[in-house]
Structure 1
Amino acid sequence: MSNCWRLDDGHQTLVLAATDDLLPQVIYWGQALLGSEDCDDLAAAHKQDFTGGMLDGNPDLSLCPEASQSFPGQPGLRCRDAQGAVLHPKFRFVSAEKGWQALALTYSDPKLGLTYQAHFALTPDTGLISTWATVTATNPILLHWLAAPVFPAPHYSTEMLSLSGSWIGEFQVNSVPWTAGMHMRESRTGRSGHEHFPGLIIPECGTSNTAGKAYGFHYGWSGGHRMIAEELPDGRRQVQFGNATDSELTAGLHFETAKLYAVFSDHGLNGCAVAFQRYLRDHIVTFPQSAQPRPVHYNCWEAIYFDHDIPVLQDIASQAKALGAERFVLDDGWFGQRDDDTSSLGDWQIDPRKYPDGLGPIVDHVIALEMQFGLWFEPEMVNPDSALYRAHPDWALGPKDQLLGRQQMVLNMALPQVGDYLFDSIGALLHDYDISYIKWDHNRNLPISDAAQTRSSYALLARLRAAFPHVEIETCASGGGRIDFGILQHTQRVWLSDSNDALERSRIQHGAALFLPSAVTGSHVGPRLCHTSGRTFDMQYRAWVAAQRHMGFEMDPRELTEIEALALKDITQWYKDNRAWMANGDILRLDSADPSVLAEMQLARDGSRFVVFSNQLDSSAQINSRPLRLTQLDPNAIFAVHLLNRDKVHPLSRGNLLLKSQELQASGAWLMAQGLNLPYAVPSSIWVIEGRKLSL
């Protein structure tokens, strides 16, 4: 070994080592090593045996595995020259730049005119590693695949956890066993997608939410991605992430992956989750007014759909304000000739039939109520039945005879005139009205996977934010179809799902908490009768599910009974009283011995207080509730714990449990080892338990 590099942040160590001047490989990634460790010795100890039926050695599982090195698995770079000939680069060391907890490595193949760079940066306050790769060519090349720097996967693991889903069923956690060969997932829809969230968590054997070792990955790109998790014939394992294959449609001289975010945890899955949550909240998302609390949100979509009537909307806004809302969002239907979803996308001019005096009457009414005003757009789309398409059919992406999605096509965002038109149209409204919020929707797949589309959408978002820095933007794509750290560099809130079914939302939110903090995760109290599932839930259940994230309402407030309105106001006030510390706290998934219970704990950043939500999804197999263990508390501190909604104890709960009548005082050690005994719970109900650390 001739080159070794290591990065440390006090929690973890990453060691790279290279054979001679070849590309380096990760020879160690895990809990912090002694500073006195000799990297050359570690590199020597990392070598594995070989035997019959193999090469006379093991080709390095490098940062960019090369076919030219007889690597037996998937290579990290696949490209062709401008004439279509396959290139097999042989990269050799050029230089290394080592900074404070950062590293940049440069390698080249002079014969092919290719240069490869790998970048690494550690963020000590979160434990997250961000890494990306670039390839530069002296002559244009056609890129098929470029992986971000490649990591090995642990041998002491039998499964990997990925997140899949569908419309109104996002962020479902799936366990996939490690087997010989390749497990590949690819989103080719032109967005990160409902189907394949760009994340992966690899737990070691015996790891749970709260204990054990795990390795987490997230690829921060919104334009479709590819993930490879491969077990080689010799037993080694690799993880690759990059943009979707063949999404660079033209030859070029420079290509760059998005950032791959990686984290090592020795606190179970929660260690990965907390690192991702903190990094996104503290280092990626930039809020227009970061010092202000997250406002309670009201969206009118499921109250009116396309039926816009100014007096009705004014009445709804007034009632939403009385319930505790602090922001009113006017959703789809205010522009063009938009009476349903078949027309007018792209015509971002106010519909004079519905708003003869413009948006002024509704905006002024909302502002007079001391609420923020927000507006819905779907800028990247166009309906064939629109003035814009009739004037500029050449602005649509893909063939004219393509299959429509939701009666719409996609605008070619890479065309400068498209970006200018959208900036001018949206900007005019932001200039003319007191609008402080945009719901930015994206309701269909791209006809082709095109990385230029994503880069151009990012550029438009950045341009609007520079011109209107006071405006907050929510990313929505039929719910959770475009959620990733790439889009969140330009937005401040995600619409996690179009489902306001509180039970389904609970599952979706629980899965998303592996990556997303509460501050950016929108969650709304939906109608009594859920519009996507047809199920009915009481107000207590709906409101407590929404209060676990960035709370909002999305129903017609005129449907509420007096009892429902009172319950919603009370829980909304609880959210307001607690949102400051919750927005900066950690969401911790709890291990439940009862599969019918979905439980999580939100812990203040300083560990001084917490709230537990124990969600009874279904009937339990046993009669009594099993104890619920808490996590990440100071074991030597005493906590005062009380059941916040004890007034909702069901008549079938007949025992004299302590929490039903009084406060519990117990050590963090006891709460984590023994856990809480909770009252009997019926399906679709939640226990809310608050705790605070007592002064010693």
Structure 2
Amino acid sequence: MHHWRIDDARQTLVLAATGERLPQVVYWGPALPAQENLATLHATHAIDVTGGMLDANPDLSLCPEATRSFPGQPGLIVRDGEGTPLLPKFCYDSESNGNDLRLIYRDAANGLTLTFIFALDPDTHIITAQTVLDADAPVHLHWLAAPVLPAPQHSGEMIDFSGRWCGEFQTNRTAWSAGMRYRENRTGRTGHEHFPGLIIPCTGATNTQGEAYGFHYGWSGGHRMIAEELQDGRRQIQWGHAARMETEAATQFKTAPLYITYSPSGLNGCATAFQRHLRDRIITWPKPDAPRPVHYNCWEAIYFDHNVPALKDIATRAADLGAERFVLDDGWFGQRDDDTRSLSDWTVDPRKYPDGLHPLIDHVHGLGMTFGIWFEPEMINPDSDIHRAHPDWALGGEDQTLGRQQKALNMALPAVRDFLYDRMSAILREHPIDYIKWDHNRVLPMPDAAQTRGSYALIDRLRADFPQVEIESCASGGGRVDFGILQRTQRVWLSDSNDALERLRIQHNAALFLPLSVTGSHVGPRYCHTSGRMHDITFRAWVAAQRHMGFEMDPRELTDKEATVLRHVTAWWKANRDWMQRADILRLDSADPAVIAEQQLAADGARFVVFAGKADTSAQIAPRPLRLTALDPNAQYLISLANQQDIHHLSRGTPALKSGPVTLTGRYLMANGITLPWSFPDRMWVLEGKKL
């Protein structure tokens, strides 16, 4: 018998193996006492056998093996160099238990070695798990799962994520039943359609209470998720690269890291673990102590119509509103007058910039802002100088369907990466640029893990040589958002939708994994071109202030009143961003389904802000009390309405909040909740709380 345990203050994960067989997870949940007998635990974990079954239950191991009669999906499907399917049977080889736990298993007959790696961060409560397959001779890989975990029996459903362009992070609740929930993304990037995350709530769990288990697969290519319930009642969760992603035989294959956590405090416990781990362990910040700058992006102001005097005027107005970074979006290079040409011709367009970019950059710097620029490095238009010179650099067949009039470059080719590095580094060396908006506007013609590794290699090379440059991951909005790309970047563009109502929901769901500091959110134009809706400036501004704030409208369209509101909200955000960057984003359980609310709680618990967004018309007349969470029940909190000026004249009653701050205990705020003033839909109340 072999036993291992991984512990922090919140959770224990116990692995056990019978004889030389692969280990299985026999316990994962609340922290166990140190004296727990693991052999007894292993023995009591076994389920009974009855008629119509094998005489013993095959292990639901870290890599379930078909050759050991496992009745569900196996964790490894592999063929030898000649294409003959293999049925591996692994036996214990060795282990090491330093900073991480490594368990090594060997199939001598087939020349295969399987290594499982587990690393626990006791501060963030994230366990990172990975599987590595080594082969004595090259093999063809069909499927390799990261360490396979059981799903809790005390759960009636699972929550995973789908979406579309301008509609990312939609949640799906699927009931457990016999059979398989199979999610596979074969688009070659993380995808709007299949964010690689899973939350399994136990029965009765909500945002703020109950038990939940969280999973995230940190990989920017296609992935596969299997949530399977066997006929004996056991449940397994598998994550890995999409099947058949590896096109070449090789002697080593690795899964991406699988990030997992157990929460005793509802979905929020998973959310804060992922938020903290991403912010504090995965992201590498060029300026770790610098506040997140207020961002201005010119895309929805000018599109492809670049004009230096107009851009200077826009920059001046953006700075006056409070912007601290100016980003020049698509259209500055080649002959790029629309989205049909010039991708990969990364030289400054002399028609639009006769004196180069320096006059604009100097003007931006003179206003006290830094300068950023847009690239879409992995893509190429057929109508481009580079495609005409190197048609063989494009990925996929000549007759492929284009996406946004473009193909993808084959990032597995060193010549392609060298070319892109040379062009991009020339721009970065010649200009004082501290930010890249790195876009990716089409799916790949076929899934290919080498494409993702090539993209990572290019970003890594540029980061090494230009460590002061921050990078945003954009892929038509939220098409490449995951912990793999965020090892190399510092911000994500969550959605191309600047519609504040859409953003309210998208940001709320993305907070299950993403902190404020990486999540870009911009005040869009009065008329939103992606939804056709118009929203009041107060709603647009406060929704952007929930995350890393920026603007992406034409500031020349603003009325004096709108400019005043935007300056006010921006100043509020700047005054609070230092603590909000380190805060936990806690989703609140709203008694009114029309209200989407969250509480951002400072790391020391001394202050918080509640954003309560009205996404629809309520069924009842007056607002229902909104329960807060994670406060000290015995402490007193001073509560005030940060946007009292937004009270409408149809709000005619006298709730205490309307006339000034109120002092209430944490117990009352969590048990009864706070009663907000009446408002129309598409409005936001902002509550500030300070612990006395």
Q: TM-score by structure 2 length? A: 1.00
Q: 1:250: Cα distance to partner? A: 0.4
Distance 1:363 1:421 in 2: 25
Tell me the residue number matched to 1:487: 485
Tell me the residue number matched to 2:193: 195
Distance 1:349 1:522 in 2: 27
User: How do 1:116-265 and structure 2 match up within 5 A?
Assistant: 116-265=114-263
Is structure 2 residue 489 aligned with structure 1 residue 528?
Answer: no
Distance 2:154 2:650 in 1: 46
**Aligned-partner SS, 1:171:** strand
Deviations 1:106-129 (A, max 9, x none): 000000000000000100001110
**Aligned-partner SS, 1:350:** coil
**Aligned-partner SS, 2:196:** strand
CA RMSD of aligned residues (A): 0.6
Distance 1:272 1:296 in 2: 28
Tell me the residue number matched to 1:292: 290
**Aligned-partner SS, 1:191:** coil
Q: In the alignment, residue 372 of structure 1 is paired with which amino acid?
A: T
**Aligned-partner SS, 1:600:** strand
Counterpart selection for 2:667 from 669, 672, 691: 669
Tell me the residue number matched to 1:35: 34
Deviations 1:385-438 (A, max 9, x none): 000000000101111111111100000011111111101100001000010000
Tell me the residue number matched to 2:412: 414
Q: 1:652: Cα distance to partner? A: 2.0
Q: 1:641: Cα distance to partner? A: 0.4
Q: 1:463: Cα distance to partner? A: 0.4
Deviations 1:186-240 (A, max 9, x none): 1100001000000000000000000000000000000110000000010000000
Tell me the residue number matched to 1:268: 266
Is structure 2 residue 10 aligned with structure 1 residue 5?
Answer: no
Distance 1:474 1:207 in 2: 34
Deviations 1:301-323 (A, max 9, x none): 00000000000000000000000
- Higher deviation after alignment, 557-566 or 647-656: 647-656
Deviations 1:311-363 (A, max 9, x none): 00000000000000000000000000000000000000011111111111111
Deviations 1:533-591 (A, max 9, x none): 11000100000000000000000000000000000000000000001110111000000
Tell me the residue number matched to 2:606: 608
Q: In the alignment, residue 298 of structure 1 is paired with which amino acid?
A: Y
**Aligned-partner SS, 2:168:** coil
Tell me the residue number matched to 2:88: 89
Q: 1:286: Cα distance to partner? A: 1.1
**Aligned-partner SS, 1:165:** strand
Distance 2:182 2:540 in 1: 37
Counterpart selection for 1:362 from 360, 363, 367: 360
Q: 1:645: Cα distance to partner? A: 1.2
Deviations 1:493-543 (A, max 9, x none): 000000000000000000100000000000000000001011000100000
User: How do 1:203-602 and structure 2 match up within 5 A?
Assistant: 203-602=201-600
Distance 2:673 2:98 in 1: 45
**Aligned-partner SS, 2:603:** coil
Distance 2:642 2:442 in 1: 42
**Aligned-partner SS, 1:117:** strand
Q: In the alignment, residue 143 of structure 1 is paired with which amino acid?
A: L
**Aligned-partner SS, 1:6:** strand
Distance 1:51 1:480 in 2: 49
Sequence identity percentage: 65
Q: 1:10: Cα distance to partner? A: 1.7
Distance 2:326 2:644 in 1: 32
Distance 2:31 2:169 in 1: 31
Distance 2:667 2:386 in 1: 64
Deviations 1:659-695 (A, max 9, x none): 000211111111101100111111000100000011x
Q: In the alignment, residue 73 of structure 1 is paired with which amino acid?
A: G
Distance 2:662 2:149 in 1: 46
Tell me the residue number matched to 2:43: 44
Q: In the alignment, residue 601 of structure 1 is paired with which amino acid?
A: Q
Q: In the alignment, residue 74 of structure 1 is paired with which amino acid?
A: Q
**Aligned-partner SS, 1:56:** coil
Q: In the alignment, residue 18 of structure 1 is paired with which amino acid?
A: A
Q: In the alignment, residue 584 of structure 2 is paired with which amino acid?
A: D
Distance 1:79 1:94 in 2: 20
Distance 1:115 1:351 in 2: 53
Q: In the alignment, residue 92 of structure 2 is paired with which amino acid?
A: F
Q: In the alignment, residue 182 of structure 1 is paired with which amino acid?
A: M
Q: In the alignment, residue 355 of structure 1 is paired with which amino acid?
A: Y
Distance 2:333 2:104 in 1: 51
Distance 2:677 2:119 in 1: 47
Give 5+ residue unaligned stretches, structure 1. none
Distance 1:678 1:9 in 2: 39
Q: 1:99: Cα distance to partner? A: 2.2
Is structure 2 residue 61 aligned with structure 1 residue 62?
Answer: yes
